[in-house]
């Protein structure tokens, strides 16, 4: 994501200048914009992620990379509730295949 990131005690925060811009999650190989949880789940599974049943937090879905890894992605169960921080989490953990862009 464009802008200035500040890291404080392991937490990344985007400088307020970019907070008003709408962001989208993009699958880099095809340049397609992710528009649903079903689409995202299919792509995550293609890259070795599995869905955890049941989620440890109500109202969320969770994906993990393997049982021996600390990699975990937690997302709201309603796609419309995803925020840029969720996109960033995915893009940072799967940086070869996902990126966050400004909406065109």
**Average of pLDDT values for 68-81?**
86
63 falls within a domain: yes
Q: Considering the domain boundaries, does residue 8 fall inside one?
A: no
Q: Tell whether 3 is covered by a domain.
A: no
Number of structural domains the chain divides into: 1
Residue 7 — very low, low, confident or very high, per pLDDT cuts 50/70/90? low
In a domain, 5, yes or no: no
pLDDT band at 66 (very low <50, low <70, confident <90, very high): confident
Which phi and psi (to 5°) does residue 7 adopt? -110, 125
Confidence tier at 1 by pLDDT (50, 70, 90) = very low
Residue 5 has pLDDT above 50, yes or no: yes
Structural domain including 43 reads: 23-102
Q: CA 69 to CA 13: how far, in whole Å?
A: 25
In a domain, 12, yes or no: no
pLDDT at 92: 92
The reply to whether 2 falls in a domain is no
């Amino acid at each position: 994501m464009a802008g200035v990131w500040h890291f404080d005690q392991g937490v990344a925060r985007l400088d307020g200048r970019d907070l008003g811009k709408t962001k989208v999650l993009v699958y880099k190989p095809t340049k397609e914009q992710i528009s649903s949880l079903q689409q995202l789940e299919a792509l995550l599974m293609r890259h070795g992620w599995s869905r955890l049943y049941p989620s440890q937090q109500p109202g969320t879905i969770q994906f993990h990379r393997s049982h021996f890894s600390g990699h975990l992605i937690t997302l709201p169960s309603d796609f419309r509730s995803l925020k840029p921080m969720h996109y960033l989490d995915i893009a940072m953990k799967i940086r070869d295949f996902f990126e966050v862009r400004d909406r065109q």
